[in-house]
């Protein structure tokens, strides 16, 4: 998720100077791809639960509200971990935090294996959120540190690993649940083994940050939208809500909706729609990264409108082909609107000292939009049914994306000025210096050369 995600809540991550190579450590290029693989793995673990929600719901008879609440606990844990612990690896080292993320991810798999009711599902999803949040912050920072000099590979790899991990986890798990034995256990045993193996492999990653004091002070989040960015932030806000709200809906209720629209009990369809919405978003962030932020935002919002409209029509007509196509189109628009558009437009508007607070605000919007609309949808499903809820949800996404597109079209004629570095103001609570008084010229006198006296 583009450049400063690793330092969410504090300050942007800067490239660490390479230190002496540790004996047994991998080369930096190999370490880079190993970190990317770990990030993919822990987001795979996060996505693996989505196709199982329907299975758990059928076994333990909980409501759609409970289902979406379980999903939202994951998002809340992810967000809190990013905000509070996002800079811990700057002080304790990248490798140690990634190791902890893998151990916590393995613990989440163990809780899924032990679950016999919704209670342990809440705990397992919370641990999964902590694991993914820690891996995203420390892993994203490590990728920036390990990428080749003068390369901008890390932001693209980070966003692609996150989105593809979520999508691949949903798709692979749905295949195992449908066609392999022990549907609620096999996938977690396999992932537990892979996490344990990865925890050993991570020991060979080159450490790019040495331990230093200040870790406790780093736990305080900084969230603020600078004055010069507020108008643009407000204009982008509808799109910043629509994009993650789409992903959240598919990762929680997408498999149930796929089974209803496609009329098939095969769970593989549920995994396929998850992969379509996240995989096309990941592909868009890689293939279209040459677009400017404003062009990506506008094109992404319009694409999201088209995808939401196609999905709405497919739900009403029960058209399988239109539903899958609409999902892919909407996923493409989601990836463009947020990752290539809003994020890249907003970050240059803040001066270096303001940037971390603005990035935190952006990701708070992202993860709240990722969970709160889904919680509301879960309540709506219990009262109005999945079909009507999905229709209204799709229409709301289209309206939000259209509002963002219209706002950016109307602002294209008025140029946005980037922030200029400014000297820091007085501390909070300090008295402001009195304004200087202008010297007023005496009435009747005009500036100009003095005329010589009459002779």
Of 241, 334, 274, 254, nearest in space to 67 by CA:
254
pLDDT digits (tens, 9 = 90+) for 42-58: 999 999 999 999 899 98
Q: Are residues 126 and 238 in the same domain?
A: no
Q: Are residues 299 and 266 in the same domain?
A: yes
Identify the pLDDT of residue 452.
Answer: 45
**pTM here?**
0.79
Q: Are residues 283 and 145 in the same domain?
A: no
Residue 83 domain flag: yes
Residue 370 domain flag: yes
Higher pLDDT, 42 or 364: 42
Identify the pLDDT of residue 413.
Answer: 57
Share of the chain above pLDDT 70, in %: 84
Residue 427 domain flag: no
**Would you say 255 and 71 are in contact if contact means Cβ atoms under 8 Å apart?**
no
Identify the pLDDT of residue 89.
Answer: 85
Sort residue 218 into left (φ over 0), alpha (ψ -120 to 50) or beta.
Answer: alpha
Q: Are residues 167 and 207 in the same domain?
A: yes
Task: Give the lowest-confidence range in 142-151, 327-336, 391-400.
Answer: 142-151
What CATH number is attached to the domain comprising 189? 1.20.1250.20
Residue 452 domain flag: no
pLDDT digits (tens, 9 = 90+) for 68-112: 999 999 999 998 998 888 888 888 888 999 999 999 999 999 999
Q: Range of 344's domain? A: 222-414
Q: Are residues 168 and 242 in the same domain?
A: no
Q: Are residues 137 and 207 in the same domain?
A: yes
Identify the pLDDT of residue 11.
Answer: 39
Q: Are residues 232 and 327 in the same domain?
A: yes
Identify the pLDDT of residue 426.
Answer: 34
Quick one: pLDDT band at residue 351, thresholds 50, 70, 90? confident
pLDDT digits (tens, 9 = 90+) for 214-270: 888 878 877 788 888 899 999 999 999 999 999 999 999 999 999 999 998 898 999
Q: Are residues 228 and 367 in the same domain?
A: yes
Share of the chain above pLDDT 90, in %: 55
């Amino acid at each position: 998720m583009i450049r400063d995600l690793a330092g969410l809540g504090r300050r942007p991550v800067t490239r660490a100077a390479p230190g002496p190579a540790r004996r047994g450590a991998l080369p930096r290029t190999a370490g880079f791809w190993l970190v990317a693989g770990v990030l993919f793995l822990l987001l795979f673990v996060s996505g693996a639960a989505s196709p199982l929600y329907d299975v758990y719901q059928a076994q333990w008879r909980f409501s759609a509200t409970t289902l979406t609440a379980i999903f939202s606990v994951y998002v809340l844990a992810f967000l809190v971990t990013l905000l509070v612990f996002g800079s811990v690896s700057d002080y304790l080292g990248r490798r140690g935090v990634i190791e902890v993320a893998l151990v916590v991810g393995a613990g989440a798999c163990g809780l899924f294996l032990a679950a016999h009711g919704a209670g342990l599902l809440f705990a397992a999803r919370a641990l999964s959120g902590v694991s993914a949040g820690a891996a995203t912050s420390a892993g994203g920072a490590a990728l920036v540190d390990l990428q080749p000099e003068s390369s901008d590979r890390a932001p693209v790899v980070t966003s692609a690993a996150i989105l593809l991990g979520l999508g691949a986890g949903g798709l692979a798990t749905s295949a195992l649940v449908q066609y392999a034995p022990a549907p609620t256990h096999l996938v977690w045993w396999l992932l537990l083994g892979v996490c344990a193996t990865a925890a050993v492999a991570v020991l060979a990653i080159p450490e790019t940050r040495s331990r230093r004091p200040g870790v406790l002070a780093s736990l305080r989040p900084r969230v603020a939208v600078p004055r010069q960015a507020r108008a643009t932030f407000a204009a982008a806000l509808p799109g910043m809500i629509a994009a993650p709200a789409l992903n959240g809906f598919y990762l929680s209720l997408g498999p149930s909706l796929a089974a209803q629209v496609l009329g098939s009990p095969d769970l593989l369809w549920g995994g396929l729609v998850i992969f379509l919405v996240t995989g096309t978003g990941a592909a868009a962030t890689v293939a279209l990264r040459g677009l400017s932020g404003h062009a990506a935002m506008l094109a992404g919002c319009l694409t999201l409108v088209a995808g939401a409209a196609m999905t709405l029509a497919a739900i009403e007509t029960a058209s399988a082909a239109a539903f899958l196509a609409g999902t892919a189109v909407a996923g493409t628009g989601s990836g463009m609107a947020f990752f290539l558009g809003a994020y890249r437009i907003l970050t240059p508007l803040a001066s270096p000292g303001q940037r971390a607070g603005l990035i935190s605000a952006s990701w708070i919007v992202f993860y709240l939009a990722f969970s709160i609309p889904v919680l509301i949808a879960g309540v709506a499903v219990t009262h109005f049914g999945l079909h009507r809820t999905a229709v209204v949800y799709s229409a709301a996404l289209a309206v939000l994306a259209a509002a963002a597109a219209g706002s950016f079209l109307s602002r294209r004629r008025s140029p946005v000025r980037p922030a200029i570095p400014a000297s820091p103001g007085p501390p909070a609570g300090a008295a402001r210096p009195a304004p200087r008084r202008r010297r007023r010229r005496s009435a009747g006198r005009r500036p100009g050369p003095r005329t010589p006296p009459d002779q």
